[in-house]
Amino acid sequence: MAEETKSVHWHPFNGRGEQLPASETLNLPPPPPWRKFNRPILPKDTERWLNLLEPVESEKNDRDRGEKFRLSEISNNEADSKNTELQKAIDLVIAGVNAALCLRRPLLVTGRPGSGKTSLAYALAYQLRLGPVLKWSITARTTLQDGLYRYDAIARLQEPDSEGKQDIGSYITLGALGTAFLPSALPRVLLIDEIDKSDINLPNDLLNLFEEGEYEIPELKRWTKKNPDKPVSVFTWDKNLHPVKLNSGIVGCHAFPIVVMTSNGERDFPPAFKRRCIRIKMPNPGINNLKSIVKSHMGDKYFDQSSDRISQLITDFLGKEKLAKDLATDQLLNVVYMLTGGAESTLDCESLKELLFKSLNDTEGL
């Protein structure tokens, strides 16, 4: 009997929260010839993935975030023109994500606050069964080295080692970025959050890594040159897993990671950087999507008990959003909690909405 052909996932992401069947693993089509990496897979990679997929209580919130993610849903109450516009935006996001997966390209995700830019990474990890998200949060002081690895030279100097045979691996810890590019059979999901806050040089520094799929650890390279055929165990960003064994100071991926970079539009990026990314813009949440968001955070029972009141608050939020253009869904959740949860307030309903629905660009304070 012929062996059953494994299905190829050209469109694995649908934005509806549907996971791959438990019996399947992600099987993307072969990468384009110019995006092939195929470094030798790490020893015990299968065992490592089994441990990665084992539920850990500390990662429950991240899993829930991915499970609850939904792209905006069409509402029957909206005008046909608005539904058409929203559906086009949703289709572009789904097409862009699947194109990035198949082309092995990073995603550059923009959109208004609360539109789901960051949650998209958790949704991909959940729906495609790819384990915990590797998150790298960016600030103005972040460098490429911060994301790749940390070498604790001081701790090594303090350890007694008269013969110079001390294993250097104990002092190297891979960062989220460095861990994502370990050679593994399946891709990891890497979230580079708020890359627009970075130093002007960071996007250009990432170009070689995104193109070549590899990076160098000079300290490890020198060690392996002096100690050939002696693998070094280094720590990774995955706190609950054993160290991985590396045979050289060059670390390169086998499967290109699923890279999700979020941007709030605080700056533009060089053309060379944008050319190497698939760029998508998250659609603004619609009525049905906001109801789903409230339900996922407050619970179905809570929503049903105050459904009429919550629906009116959502309508008020959307009306205010048309004027302010920059409200976040967090602001809606705050108002829903304050006005439907039984919390007492010295402010009346309209005053509370005016306070909590304040534009994010309002510089006049109260």
Q: What is the pLDDT of residues 248-280, one digit of tens each?
A: 899 999 999 999 999 998 889 999 999 999 999
* Contact criterion met (CB below 8 Å) for 39 and 254: yes
Residue 149 DSSP one-character state: E
pLDDT at 3: 40
Q: Which residue from 143, 328, 178, 330 is spatially nearest to 253, judged by alpha carbons?
A: 178
Residue 2 has a pLDDT of 41
For range 215-229, the mean pLDDT: 89
The sign one gets for the Cα dihedral 218, 220, 223, 229 is negative
pLDDT for the residue 174: 97
* E-state strands within 231-325: 232-234, 244-246, 250-252, 258-262, 278-281
| Mean pLDDT rounded to a whole number for the chain | 87
What is the model's pTM? 0.87
d(CA 26, CA 310): 39
pLDDT tens string 322-331? 665 678 888 9
Please compute, for residue 301, the number of CA atoms within 13 A of its CA located in the half-sphere on the CB side.
0
Mean pLDDT, rounded, for 213-230 = 90
Backbone angles phi, psi at 163, to 5 degrees: -95, -5
| pLDDT at residue 348 in the model | 77
Say if residue 302 is exposed, middle or buried (CB neighbours under 10 Å; 0-12, 13-18, 19+).
Answer: middle
For the segment 31-80, what is each residue's pLDDT rounded down to a tens digit? 999 999 989 999 999 999 999 998 877 788 888 889 888 886 665 555 56
Instruction: Write down the pLDDT at residue 1.
Output: 35
Cα 245 vs. chain centroid, distance in angstroms? 26
pLDDT digits (tens, 9 = 90+) for 166-197: 678 889 999 999 999 999 999 999 999 999 99
Segment 350-359 mean pLDDT: 86
pLDDT above 60 for 295: yes
Surface-to-core class of residue 318, CB atoms within 10 Å of its CB (0-12 exposed, 13-18 middle, 19+ buried): middle
* The pLDDT value given to residue 162: 46
pLDDT score at 9 = 92
Residue 6: what residue type?
K
Q: For 92-137, how does the pLDDT look when each residue is reduced to its tens digit (9 = 90+)? A: 999 999 999 999 999 999 998 778 899 999 999 999 999 999 999 9
Q: Say which range, 45-49, 202-206, 304-308, 360-364, has the weakest mean pLDDT.
A: 360-364
Q: Which H or E run includes 230?
A: none
What is residue 252's predicted lDDT score, i.e. its pLDDT?
Answer: 96
Three-state SS at 100: helix
